[in-house]
Amino acid sequence: MERKSPSKRDPRDYGYPTPDMESLTAKAGEVTKRLTELYGELPFSSKDPMSMLVEILLSHRTYDAQTDAAYENLLKHFGSWEAVRDAPAAEVQEAIANVNFPEVKAPRIQAVLRQITQERGNLNLDFLCDLPIDESMHWLNRFEGVGPKTTACVLLFSCQRAVLPVDTHVARTSIRLGLIGKKVSADAAHKLLQALLPQDARSIYNFHKALLRHGQRICVFERPRCNKCVLTDICEYYQSQLK
């Protein structure tokens, strides 16, 4: 009986779909330009890094409106992150009951707050904005529940540092556009996509927010609304699957 030879792993699926970095960089720039013109340029957040860290920890697998409500409810109920840190876990969980997995997020947030207090003596993370980016990323990534996306969000949104966060919307849209391979992991996508962008915080922020909103509104997981998309002429998914 003849055996089938195992399929070869295509490196393009796990990296860039083409070695032509110039064309990929140009495409990333064009995508940012069109979507920013469509959705508008957003200001950076006014939240300090500590507050941003709490917000992003709340946001995991949760809609923005739910995250915003839970964040406001924490501050309304407890008044400060120190009070959240010291409160009974059940009270914190009740205050964020509207998010997904509050039973996980409440003790996780409190554990992070306690660890930061133990190491720093307070709950002020402004120092992260002044450290070299690699050091800031390493410092944040040590905490349970804080991965590359959370770290990048804190540093980009609050410190205006040039670090790209990649969530499911940014990753899905980037893969369909053909900026990265179809099997690139979310963690690997951070470095691959950032290498295609100008290395300044504003350009990276615009790219992130543009693809985030496009992924939420048009390039959705099921049945992407290609008939309403302004990128079909440069989209690999549309050109290969739907045209």
Q: What is the pLDDT of residues 205-219, one digit of tens each?
A: 999 999 999 999 999
Residue 6 has pLDDT above 60, yes or no: no
Q: How many residues does the chain have?
A: 243
What is the dihedral sign for C-alpha 134, 135, 140, 143?
positive
Structural domains in the chain plus CATH codes: 18-42+164-242 (1.10.1670.10), 49-158 (1.10.340.30)
- Coil, strand or helix at 219: coil
Residues 6 or more apart in contact with residue 164 via CB below 8 angstroms: 152, 156, 190, 193, 194, 197, 204, 207, 208
Maximum alpha-carbon separation in the chain: 72
Q: Give the predicted TM-score (pTM) of the model.
A: 0.92
Short-list 13, 12, 17, 22, CA closest to 195: 22
What is the pLDDT, as a whole number, of residue 10? 87
Cβ-contact 196, 25 below 8 angstroms? yes
Q: What is the pLDDT of residues 98-152, one digit of tens each?
A: 999 999 999 999 999 999 999 999 999 999 999 999 999 999 999 999 999 999 9
Residue 111: count of CB within 10 angstroms of its CB:
15
